Amino acid sequence: MPTRTPLMAGNWKMNLDHHEATHLVQKLAWTLKDAKHDFSSVEVVVCPPFTDLRSVQTLVDADKLEIGYGSQDISTEAKGAYTGEISAAMLTKLGVSYAVVGHSERRENHDESDALVGAKAKAALGGGIVPIICVGEGLDVRQAGEQVPHTLAQVDGAFDGISAEDAAKTVIAYEPVWAIGTGEVATPEDAQEVCAAIRGRLAELYSTEVADAVRVLYGGSVKSGNVATIMAQADVDGALVGGASLDAEEFAAIVRYQ
Ligand code: PEP
C-alpha cells in the first residue's frame, strides 16, 4: 500500500490583515500543540494572501512552527514587465513551499485556462514550490453526469509538458465548484469517484509510481463534522479548506480528523 502523508491546506482567499493572520497562525499552532498533534502524520499548510506571507514567515521562523505555508497563485514569468504578478523566486524568498494554481475562483474570475494553470504549475515546480493544482466540475457538468471526463480533461491540460519526476511532486485538489463555499459537500462516494479517476489518469499519463506518490485532496465545504468520512476514502489524501480554515479551532479539528 502506498503511504501518502495526508495534507490539510487552508485557503484563506482574500481575507485577514497581517495582525489577524499572525493571530490565526499562532492560535492554530497552540491548539494543535495542546492536542499533541503529530505533524508528521498530517501535514498542515495555510495559504494566506500575498500581503500576509511575510508576517506568517516571521512567525513560523521565530517560533519554529511546523506549519507550512503557500501562496494562492503564482506568475508563469520569472521577472520583468508583468505588473501585479508575483514570481516563484519572490515566493521562495518568503519561504513559501506550496502554491495553489487553477482555483475555480481564478478560472472563473480571471478566465484561467488549463494551459495557463499548467504553465503556473511548471513555474512553481521550477522554483522548488509544490503546486496544488485545482480541478473540478461546475453544477451543470455534475448534473449531466460528466464530472469524471470534465475533470480528467483539466488534469490532461494542466499536466501537459510536465515530466514524470515533477508530476510526482505535485498535489491535486479535486474541488467540485458547486461545493465551494456553498455548504453543500460532495458525498464521500462522489469525492472518491473523481479522486480515484484522477489517480488512474496519472497512472495512464505517467506510471503507477507517480500516481501513488501524488496526494489528491478534496475541497468543497469541508468542516470538522464531515472531514472524517471523506478522509476514509482510499484516494482522498487530505483537504483544501476555504471558509473553515479561517477559524483556528475548527481548522485544527479538521487537521485532527482521525
Ligand atoms: C476553497 O476555497 O478551495 C474551498 C474549498 O472553500 P470552502 O471550504 O469554503 O468550500
Of all protein residues, the one whose alpha carbon is nearest to atom 4 of ligand 1 is 242
> Which residues of the chain carry a pLDDT beneath 50?
none
Q: Is residue 90 part of a domain?
A: yes
Cβ 177 vs Cβ 152: under 8 Å: no
Of all protein residues, the one whose alpha carbon is nearest to atom 6 of ligand 1 is 242
* Alpha carbon distance 71, 241 (integer Å): 14
30 is in an annotated binding site: no
Ligand 1 atom showing the smallest separation from residue 219 Cα: 5
Of all protein residues, the one whose alpha carbon is nearest to atom 1 of ligand 1 is 242
Q: Is residue 33 part of a domain?
A: no
178 is in an annotated binding site: no
Q: Is residue 34 part of a domain?
A: no
pLDDT at site 1: 62
Ligand 1 atom showing the smallest separation from residue 134 Cα: 3
| Domain coverage including residue 186 | 7-14+22-28+43-255
Residue 82 belongs to domain with CATH number: 3.20.20.70
Assessment of whether the complete model's pTM goes beyond 0.90:
yes
Q: Looking at the 3D structure of the chain, how many domains does it have? A: 1
ipTM above 0.90, yes or no: yes
One DSSP character per residue, 134-201 reads EE---HHHHHTT-HHHHHHHHHHHHHTT--HHHHTT-EEEE--GGGTTTS-PPPHHHHHHHHHHHHHH
Cβ 90 vs Cβ 131: under 8 Å: no
Cβ 46 vs Cβ 96: under 8 Å: no
226 is in an annotated binding site: no
Q: Which of 227, 165, 253, 237 is nearest to 1 (CA)?
A: 237
Helix axes 147-159, 188-205, angle to 10 degrees: 40
Burial grade of 50 (CB within 10 A; 0-12, 13-18, 19 or more): middle
Q: What angle do CA 150, 152, 153 make, to 5 degrees?
A: 65
The three-class DSSP label of residue 96 is: coil
Catalytic residue IDs: 103, 175
Ligand 1 atom showing the smallest separation from residue 175 Cα: 5
Q: Is residue 145 part of a domain?
A: yes
* Alpha carbon distance 100, 45 (integer Å): 11
Q: Is residue 38 part of a domain?
A: no
Q: Is residue 35 part of a domain?
A: no
Q: Is residue 37 part of a domain?
A: no
Q: How far is the CA of 221 from the centre of ligand 1 (A)?
A: 6
Q: How far is the CA of 18 from the centre of ligand 1 (A)?
A: 21
41 is in an annotated binding site: no
* Alpha carbon distance 67, 82 (integer Å): 31
- Ligand 1 lined by 242 (C-beta under 6 Å): yes
Q: Is residue 1 part of a domain?
A: no
